[in-house]
Structure 1
Amino acid sequence: MKIAFYGSSLVSAYWNGAATYYRGLLRALADKGYDITFYEPDVYDRQKNRDIDPPEWCKVVVYEGTVEALKAVARCAGEADIVVKASGVGFEDDLLLDEVLDASRLNALKIFWDVDAPATLAELRAAPEHPLRKALQRIDLVMTYGGGDPVVNAYRSLGARDCIPIYNALDPQTHHPVPDDGRFSADLGFLGNRLPDREARVEHFFLEPASRLTDKTFLLGGSGWQDKLMSSNVNYIGHVSTRDHNAFNVTPKAVLNISRASMAENGFSPATRVFEAAGAGACLITDYWEGIELFLKPGEEVLVARDGQDVVDILAGLTSEQALAIGKNSLQRVLADHTYASRAETVDALFRQHMGARMEAAE
């Protein structure tokens, strides 16, 4: 079956945290025989900061950030059996959704794939006339990056026919243990772009502990932090290419996951870096969010901090031996239970179920 997937970017993770999610899941679906074309706009300098070349398992179509170009690629939806419009494409999202739905064949499976459901739902609640509210009537299935029952129930209450979370996972071909790299030496590393609903939490969970633990070294990677006030023991290195993520994760004694505020409040939304760090065999410290025990066992496979003081206490008592043991345990867990191959099994079953139901209804 042919999939037309309209998203932010497959080839660039620059200001695009969903890239590794797309790569892992779509590669796994391609391995199951799907013929996939990914359509992405040339915006935010992403094409100037590519992490990968277009892969052999997916055709990538890059279009200019113009309405004319958008409408041209939207018409390609008419060639697909399954049409996916992701959230956060980054250029005229509402128009793109309408154009894609208009172009899709009557019997095509039409999906809205929300990679930031808590934020999207907040927008919908605040705007009764939001275009997505009306579009839900034309969409067969909403799939989400995460969110659990709160997100599922919220989407159904807004008129979605169905909503299924497909959680982040590990692609072992991309994220795996590598040797230490001296560029990333530190007691604690954090990798994340500077975003409005994350900044205060980064201050609380990372920058404040760094200012208190002056005898320890901290490593900050990601875009947008260059003018942020930070203590002298924080080494800010800017954007980190995905080709260096494994080394960034495995070299520090521990790495930190800090959820965006909306995802932490909602729960059941493990970030990609949770599985990427575990896949590299890193010792992961994560901020607390409801549902974490469904993915990694606190205390054995992950360390959990409810506030900045917890980060201070964990680092003060963490030995190298403990860190190595936690990294080993987390790697074993994600390889067993949380790979994109297993997520693709779920997605494939959902696609076939919904396509089968459509065919029965047409007979």
Structure 2
Amino acid sequence: MKIAFYGSSLVSSYWNGAATYYRGILSALARHGWDITFYEPDAFDRQKHRDIDPPSYARSVVYPATPEALRDVLAEARGADIVVKANGVGVFDRELLEGIIANAGPHALKIFWDVDAAATLDEMRGDASHPVLAALPDLDMVLTYGGGPPVVDAYTGFGAKRCIPVYNALDPETHHPVAPDPRFACDLAFLGNRLPDREARVEEFFLKPAARLADRRFLIGGNGWETKQMPGNVRHRGHVYTAEHNAFNCTPRAVLNVARDSMAHIGFSPATRVFEAAGAAACLITDAWEGIEQFLTPDSEVLVARDGQDVADHLAALTTERAQAIGQAAKARVLAEHTYELRAVQVDALFRDHLARQAVPA
């Protein structure tokens, strides 16, 4: 049973926030017997900033970002039972989507896997010629890594045959408690790349509390922040490799999650960082968004902030003992209910059900 997966990158998280999600889902699916090939273009210096070697659970194919190489890798879709195009590859996104439809075998399951559904839907609403909108009649289903009922309703309203959220989760073998690392010592840490639809919320939920709590130490990790003006008590770490995430989460008194505008607006969209932090037993402060209770219980497993003042108030009142209690409770919750193994059970059942129905004569 073969999966051909066309995405941004499996081996690098550099300008690629979906890497943790891909690794968690695909490694768990491999344990269910799936033979996976992941196709990624050599683009955006991702290959120069690899986090991992090619993994044992998937064949990693890195192809030159050229039309000729694109045709070659798309031709391999013909031999797969499941053909997936993820969004946000960054190059040839339209051609990849059209290509999986054109090249997939007649009985293959054709999937668009949207790891930024709220933003994609906003684009579709404003562009009648959007490639995803054009592809929906030929796709068997859309999978998303968040969004809940609003995203499902929107996608089916646009004509998707099926839309099913497969939420972010935890791989406990990758993200878990480790010893503190003085490089990441601070009172509050935030990890995320600088993106246009996130920057204003980072200013509100991270930089404003830093300015108000001048006696506290703040740390920001991720790409693009080196030119951002920040208070003097904020350090910028730059790109934080996956192997450093556990120490980044375990060392500070608390870590902050800040959703992008579209994800915060639509709700039901916990970022990978939420589960990484919880798996490391970090005390997480998150901006408020609808559906948080589905994943973590406010006040006992996560602290929820409506604005920057709430973040400052949480941090000012947070003792070491309470931070540890919240972190341990969050870890227990995600291990019980939100692991990639549980997500893989869901996806495996979807895939096998489709293949079984395709095998039944009309």
TM range (shorter): over 0.9
2:288 maps to 288
Letter in 1 for 2:40: E
Structure 1 equivalent of residue 345 of structure 2 = 345
Q: Is 1:187 equivalent to 2:187 in the alignment?
A: yes
**1:300: which partner in 2?**
300
Instruction: Please give the alpha-carbon distance, in whole angstroms, between the structure 2 residues aligned to 1:100 and 1:74.
Output: 7
Matched, 1:147 2:147: yes
Q: 2:301·2:329 contact (CA, 8 Å) conserved in 1?
A: yes
Query: Which amino acid is the alignment partner of residue 173 of structure 1?
Result: E
Aligned to 1:159: 159
The normalised TM-score by structure 2 is 0.99
Q: Which runs of 5+ in 2 are unaligned?
A: none
Residue equivalent to 1:251: 251
2:226 is aligned to 226
Corresponding residue of 1:211: 211
Give unpaired runs (5+ residues) of structure 1.
Answer: none
Determine the C-alpha separation between the residues in 2 that align with 1:86 and 1:249. 28
Cα offset, 1:264, TM superposition: 0.2
2:6 equivalent in structure 1: 6
Residue 105 of structure 1 corresponds to 105
Query: 2:248 corresponds to which letter in structure 1?
Result: F
Aligned position for 1:30:
30
2:91 aligned counterpart, secondary structure: coil
Question: 1: distance between equivalents of 2:314 and 2:133?
Answer: 44
SS, match of residue 236 in structure 1:
strand
The 5 Å alignment of 1:317-356 reads: 317-356=317-356
Shift of 1:356: 1.9
The separation in 1 between residues aligned to 2:302 and 2:51, in whole angstroms, is: 28
CA contact (8 A) 1:144 1:164 kept: yes
Q: Is the 8 A contact 2:170 2:340 kept in 1?
A: yes
List per-residue Cα deviations over 1:15-52 (Å, max 9, x = no partner): 00000000000000001110000000010000000000
Q: C-alpha separation between the residues in 2 aligned to 1:210 and 1:40?
A: 38
- Report if the CA contact (8 A) 2:97-2:131 is conserved: no
2: CA distance, partners of 1:228 / 1:58: 38
Give 1:184 shift.
Answer: 0.3
Counterpart amino acid of residue 72 in structure 1: D
Answer whether contact 1:54 1:60 (CA < 8 A) is retained. yes
TM-fit CA distance, 1:129:
1.8
Give me the whole-angstrom Cα distance separating, in 2, the residues matched to 1:75 and 1:155: 28
SS in 2 for 1:125: helix
Q: Aligned partners of 1:172 and 1:218: how far apart in 2?
A: 27
SS state at 1:172 partner: coil
1:357 deviates by 2.1
Distance (whole Å) between structure 1 residues aligned to residue 308 and residue 126 of structure 2: 32
Contact 2:202 2:258 in 1 (8 A): yes
Whole-angstrom CA distance in 2 between matches of 1:321 and 1:152: 40
SS of 1:5's partner is strand
Asked if the contact 1:71/1:96 (under 8 Å) is kept, the reply is no
Give, as a single letter, the amino acid of the residue that structure 1 aligns with 2:311.
V
- Asked if residue 42 in structure 1 is aligned to residue 42 in structure 2, the reply is yes
Q: Distance in 2 between matches of 1:88 and 1:220?
A: 24
**Distance in structure 2 (CA, Å) of the matches to 1:278 and 1:352:** 31
- The amino acid across from 2:189 in the alignment is G
| TM-score, with structure 1 as normaliser | 0.99
Q: Tell me the distance in 2 between the aligned counterparts of 1:158 and 1:42.
A: 32
Shift of 1:359: 2.3
Structure 1 residues 101-140: aligned runs within 5 Å = 101-140=101-140
Partners of 1:68 and 1:308 in 2: CA distance: 49
Deviation at 1:131, TM superposition (A): 2.1
Distance 2:346 2:132 in 1: 25
CA RMSD in angstroms comes to 0.7
In structure 1, the residue corresponding to 2:227 is in which secondary structure? coil
- Shift in Å at residue 97 of structure 1? 0.9
Shift of 1:134: 1.8
1:307 is aligned with what amino acid?
A: D
1:85-118: per-residue Cα shift (whole Å, max 9, x none)?
Answer: 0011111101111112111100001111000000
Q: SS where residue 226 of structure 2 aligns?
A: coil
- Deviating 4+ runs (over 3 angstroms): none
State the partner residue of 1:74.
74
CA distance in 1, matches of 2:148, 2:132: 20
Partner of 1:359: 359
- 1:254 and 1:133 mapped to 2: Cα distance? 41
User: What whole-Å deviation, never above 9, does each CA across 1:137-172 have from its counterpart, x for those lacking one?
Assistant: 110010001100100011101110000000000000
Secondary structure of the 1:167 match is: coil
How far 1:345 moved relative to its partner? 0.4
Please give the per-residue CA displacement for 1:274-332, whole angstroms capped at 9, x wherever unaligned: 00000001000000000000000000000000100000100110000000000010001
1:240 Cα deviation from its structure 2 partner: 0.4
Secondary structure class of the residue paired with 2:225: coil
